[in-house]
Amino acid sequence: MITDARVPAIQAENLTVSYGPRPALLDVSVAIEPGTLVGVIGPNGSGKSTLVKAILGFVKRDFGTVKIFGQPVEEALGRLAYVPQRGAVDWDYPVTVEEVAMMGRYGRIPWWGSPSADDRRAVAEALDIVRMGEFRARQIGQLSGGQQQRVFMARALAQGADILLLDEPFAGVDAATERALLEVLRQARAAGRTLVVVHHDLATAAETFDRLLLLKQRLYGYGPPEAVLQEDLLSEVYEGRLRVFGTLKKGEKR
């Protein structure tokens, strides 16, 4: 879909979410540019996954708004695709790799109809992009963790969404799978998609993402990695010893 590059792909304003009495997000406002690969970083429990779910509407917002290319998110859900954490998926469910990828096309298939040739072509292309085409008939639970993650990437790509939101896609995968997934993300960005990725490894954040979003309930920084990965800022957010790029951080001793 053609969009105005001057309109943010995602714009959150004063986004606030609580789980009971505990705030998960507090007054978060950010505008994410189209065609950008964004890493969401912060300590455990800082609200990273909640931010993604709040953008998608999976959790109720206490306050604030989310717009997708200038539209209320409720009117633009078809432009969003989600890749959940592996732990949130029932891998024993009897479904094949191809069937999982086809789930990305369900929004385009009438409830009374069957997948079209275009749907099957989109699924085949997505599986080939993530190098899982030869496993199309395999039951999803028989795959390795990295392979499972690739299949869910294929589902998101098959959907044809403009924005991909991924919750810790590199967690628990080997180095080869991480490189393969990163290449898929870069291909998606090159095709004009916007990607928001929850990420926990600061050591690789600068070389992986165009922008970083530093979160600890509140937004502490958003911008190029060199602007966000500042010693004082990281020390404030992580409240402890932290080493980035081998640099000694505030509070550390040699």
Q: What pLDDT score was predicted for residue 54?
A: 95
Q: Are 28 and 51 in contact (CB under 8 A)?
A: yes
pTM given for the model:
0.86
Could you count the other beta carbons within 10 Å of the beta carbon of residue 121?
12
Q: What is the Cα–Cα distance from 203 to 246, expressed in whole angstroms? A: 9
Q: Which CATH architecture has domain 10-238?
A: 3-Layer(aba) Sandwich (3.40)
**91-118 core/surface letters (b: 16 or more CB in 10 A; e: else):** eeeebbbbbbbbebbeebeeeeeebeee
Indicate the domain borders of the chain: 10-238
DSSP letter assigned to residue 113: -
Per-residue confidence in pLDDT tens, the chain, 254 aa: 545 667 999 999 999 999 988 899 999 999 999 999 999 999 999 999 999 999 999 999 999 999 999 999 989 988 999 998 866 677 777 899 999 999 888 877 666 678 889 989 999 999 999 889 999 999 988 988 888 888 989 999 999 899 999 999 888 788 888 888 899 999 999 999 999 999 988 888 999 999 999 999 999 999 999 999 998 899 999 986 565 544 434 344 32
Q: Are 212 and 222 in contact (CB under 8 A)?
A: yes
Contacts of 42 by beta carbon, 8 Å cutoff, 6+ apart:
48, 214, 215, 216, 220, 237
Q: What is the Cα–Cα distance from 141 to 162, expressed in whole angstroms? A: 29
